[in-house]
């Protein structure tokens, strides 16, 4: 009899614990179990990131060497070596330029996204924590910039300042910082009204402690997923500008401008424009698939917040 | 209640337009580099520079220049292009029709396709075909527009020889020629815009599908197709109108790429040429037209979702 009640209450205790684990503010279970699509995509992204670093050293030619016998050749082996993906419109090795281009396209985008995050999170958390006129002021300016098509903003700035790599990074960073600001402000506001923040306040913790110990760790996961999406947008933005001839300037190799320069070769059946385009596509699709995989696992609410 | 909200949104829209004009003007005018210096180049003496500045009105303070620029723009005087000296309104007048026609045709073709496919995918979630649609559209929205255009040229123009690879127009072609010239840019833009719209339509419907009244209908035994067409669709119209307007706004950046790649004589091509020659008055005017259109379309999306939501339509 007593044994029975004891075991029953034990079951109840376990049930209670389980119920507790289902509470919305229970610490999230950090489980990264991706599907095979997710793992394959991770491999693709890691591959391209590695190419950013080792690309120039494994490339058979220098990005600016015009060693091919003629422009728009298919893959062939000549006196100077093997051109595995053929040559481009100036007779340069397409493979080498794709390998060198990774550094420019991904490097610039990564730098721009990181700066955008730095600006966006700092201002976003500041606006969420301080509120009042600081919040009002930053938010209004932010809304105005968000109300413009990104490519138009890019065009206006480049029309006025001309194009160089620092200007590209700066422009992309400022434009995309606006969306980071909006997300981190929303996340920050959500977190600031939670009970544990109130408890910390009451306990007498300073504002910096709260930001460091409560706000940032809780905002980290959604922001990390958003980072992937933002990086994709920046890659598309930078390569679109390059494609228009307003981004990375020749003779440096960049995937967007490589597509533009070799476009005329399409009519002769040359794939010189397709390879860099495929490189961009594989990188951006892979990131999107990873993000999709993660947000499918962690419930829809996360994904909705990030749009 | 609803009218007041609509008016409020329109007011916000106007304010946004004004802020946009400030951003465009500030970004292009109060920057390092002097237009007079650029025009005169090496031959500039201090006297000719001063004369040129006075002629261009550059000797006046920024806010006076801003208001005269704004005033001129409101009255339709867009100024003179620095390259060639033609008036900007005549340059734009020759191009804007082409861009409008393209955008209109894209909208007419892509809206029905996207809504139908989005609905269809939402009606059969989890099936192989739904997965193909979801994966396909995700891939399409994550690649640059010029990738789609390049592949379209490779397949349709180079391998199949069905269509020309540029959309060069002289202005006096027959209807058949016009269709042929337009086909390639149209196909590209329709693919780009539809992919996004299909995804958002599907998501919108599935979102409505998780509400209690749908659960009720399911428990009642209503067939799935009927639930979607009678219960879910009408409640998803608000979000869908939103999606359509947002994607037409998205066309703004799509046309920039597509007009360049196919050498289509539209407004965006004009603007890119302006950026390359640093013809700032032309860039300002084009940017205002594009941004204005964008703001108006976003406004329509806003108003559309207010009007289609009964809770906002009737006072509480």
pLDDT tens, position by position, B301-311: 778 777 777 66
Q: Give the pLDDT confidence of B184-201 residue by residue, as tens digits.
A: 888 888 988 888 888 888
Q: Which of B27, B139, B157 sits opposite A160 (nearest CB)?
A: B27
Q: Give the pLDDT confidence of B277-293 residue by residue, as tens digits.
A: 777 778 888 888 888 88
For residue B170, give Cα distances in angstroms to A267, B167, B178, B264: 22, 10, 10, 11
* Per-residue buried b or exposed e for A201-231, using 16+ beta carbons within 10 Å of the residue's own CB: eeeeeeeeebbeebbbebbeebbebbbbbbb
Within 8 A of B278 by CB-CB distance, chain A residues are 159-160, 162
Q: What is the overall mean pLDDT for chain A?
A: 77
Q: Which of B23, B144, B165 sits opposite A239 (nearest CB)?
A: B144
For residues A22 and B1, the model is more confident at B1
Q: Please give the domain boundaries of chain B with CATH numbers for all domains.
A: 2-74 (no CATH), 91-313 (1.10.3720.10)
CB contact under 8 A, A145 and B23: yes
Burial of B225 (0-12, 13-18, 19+ CB in 10 A): exposed
For the segment A40-44, the average pLDDT, to the nearest whole number, is 88
Interface with chain B: mutation pick from A38, A159, A161, A234, highest number of B CBs within 10 Å: A159
* Nearest residue to A151 (alpha-carbon basis) of A273, A233, A253: A233
Within 8 A of B147 by CB-CB distance, chain A residues are 259, 277-278, 280-281
Search chain B and give the residue with CA nearest A241.
B257
Residue B74 pLDDT exceeds 70? yes
pLDDT at A50: 87
% of chain B surpassing 90 pLDDT? 0
Q: Please give the domain boundaries of chain A with CATH numbers for all domains.
A: 33-305 (1.10.3720.10)
Give residue A117's pLDDT band: very low, low, confident or very high (50, 70, 90): very high
Region of B164 (left: φ > 0; alpha: ψ -120 to 50; beta: rest) is: beta
pLDDT at A182: 85
% of chain A surpassing 90 pLDDT? 5
Give residue B244's pLDDT band: very low, low, confident or very high (50, 70, 90): confident
For the segment B55-82, the average pLDDT, to the nearest whole number, is 73
Q: What is the overall mean pLDDT for chain B?
A: 78
The answer to whether A303 and A125 have CB atoms below 8 angstroms apart is no
pTM: 0.78
| Binding-face residues of B in 192-251 toward A, CB within 8 A | 249-250
pLDDT at A262: 82
pLDDT at A119: 93
Residue A144 pLDDT exceeds 50? yes
| Binding-face residues of A in 103-132 toward B, CB within 8 A | none
pLDDT at A114: 93
Q: How far apart are CA B124 and CA B136, in angstroms?
A: 16
Establish, for the pair of chains A and B, how many residue pairs have beta carbons separated by less than 8 Å: 141
Q: Give the pLDDT confidence of A236-267 residue by residue, as tens digits.
A: 888 888 888 887 877 777 888 888 888 777 77
First to last CA, chain B: 9
Residue written as token pair 């932010």: A142
For residue B147, give Cα distances in angstroms to A42, A101, A227, B185: 22, 16, 23, 13
Search chain A and give the residue with CA nearest B269.
A244
| Binding-face residues of A in 182-201 toward B, CB within 8 A | none
Region of B206 (left: φ > 0; alpha: ψ -120 to 50; beta: rest) is: alpha
CB contact under 8 A, A156 and B146: no
Search chain A and give the residue with CA nearest B28.
A160
Q: How far apart are CA B58 and CA A132, in angstroms?
A: 39
Here the ipTM equals 0.75
Search chain A and give the residue with CA nearest B285.
A156
CB contact under 8 A, B139 and A148: no
Q: How far apart are CA B7 and CA A258, in angstroms?
A: 48
């Amino acid at each position: 009899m007593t044994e029975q009640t004891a075991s029953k209450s034990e079951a109840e205790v376990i049930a209670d614990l389980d119920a507790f684990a289902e509470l919305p503010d229970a610490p999230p279970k950090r489980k990264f179990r991706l599907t095979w699509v997710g793992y394959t995509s991770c491999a693709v992204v890691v591959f391209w990131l590695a190419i950013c670093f080792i690309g120039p050293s494994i490339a058979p030619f220098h990005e600016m060497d015009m060693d091919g016998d003629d422009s728009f050749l298919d893959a062939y082996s000549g006196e100077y070596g093997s051109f595995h993906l053929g040559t481009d419109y100036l007779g340069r090795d397409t493979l080498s330029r794709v390998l060198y281009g990774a550094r420019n396209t991904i490097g610039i985008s990564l730098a721009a996204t990181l700066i955008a995050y730095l600006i966006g999170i700092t201002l976003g958390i500041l606006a969420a924590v301080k509120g009042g006129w600081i919040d009002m002021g930053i938010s209004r300016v932010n809304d105005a910039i968000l109300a413009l098509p990104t490519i138009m903003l890019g065009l206006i700035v480049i029309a006025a300042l001309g194009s160089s790599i620092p200007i590209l990074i700066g422009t992309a960073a400022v434009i995309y910082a606006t969306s980071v600001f909006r997300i981190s402000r929303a996340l920050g506001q959500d977190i600031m009204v939670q009970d544990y923040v109130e408890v910390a306040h009451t306990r007498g913790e300073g504002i910096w402690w709260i930001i460091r110990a409560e706000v940032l760790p809780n905002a980290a996961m959604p922001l990390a997923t958003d980072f992937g999406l933002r990086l994709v947008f920046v890659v598309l933005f930078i390569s679109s500008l390059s494609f228009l001839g307003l981004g990375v300037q020749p003779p440096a190799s960049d995937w967007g401008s490589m597509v533009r320069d070799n476009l005329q070769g399409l009519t002769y059946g040359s794939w010189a424009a397709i390879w860099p385009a495929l490189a961009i596509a594989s990188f951006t699709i892979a990131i999107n698939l990873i993000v999709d995989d993660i947000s499918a696992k962690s419930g829809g609410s996360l994904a909705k917040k990030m749009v | 209640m609803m009218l007041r909200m609509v008016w409020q949104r329109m007011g916000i829209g106007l304010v946004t337009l004004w802020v946009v004009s400030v951003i465009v003007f500030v970004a292009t005018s109060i920057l390092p580099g002097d237009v007079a210096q650029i025009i005169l180049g090496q031959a500039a003496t201090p006297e000719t520079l001063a004369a040129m500045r006075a002629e261009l009105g550059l000797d006046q303070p920024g806010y006076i220049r801003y208001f005269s620029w704004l005033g001129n723009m409101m009255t339709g005087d867009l100024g003179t292009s620095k390259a060639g000296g033609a008036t900007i309104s005549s340059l734009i007048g020759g191009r804007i029709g082409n861009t409008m026609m393209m955008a209109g045709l894209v909208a007419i073709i892509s809206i029905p396709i996207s809504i139908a496919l989005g609905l269809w995918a939402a009606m059969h979630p989890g099936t192989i075909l739904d997965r193909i649609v979801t994966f396909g559209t995700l891939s399409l929205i994550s690649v640059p527009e010029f990738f789609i255009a390049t592949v379209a040229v490779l397949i349709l123009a180079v391998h199949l020889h069905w269509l020309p690879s540029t959309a060069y127009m002289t202005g006096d072609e027959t209807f058949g020629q016009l269709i042929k010239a337009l086909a390639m840019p149209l196909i590209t833009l329709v693919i780009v815009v539809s992919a996004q719209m299909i995804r958002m339509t599907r998501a919108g419907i599935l979102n409505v599908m998780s509400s209690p009244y749908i659960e009720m209908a399911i428990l009642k035994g209503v067939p799935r197709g009927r639930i979607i067409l009678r219960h879910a669709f009408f409640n998803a119209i608000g979000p869908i109108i939103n999606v359509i307007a947002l994607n037409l706004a998205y066309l703004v950046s799509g046309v920039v790429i597509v007009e360049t790649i196919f050498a289509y004589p539209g407004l965006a091509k004009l603007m890119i040429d302006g950026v390359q020659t640093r013809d700032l008055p032309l860039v300002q005017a084009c940017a205002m037209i594009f941004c204005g259109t964008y703001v108006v379309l976003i406004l329509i999306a806003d108003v559309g979702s207010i009007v289609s939501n009964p809770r906002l339509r009737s006072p509480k």
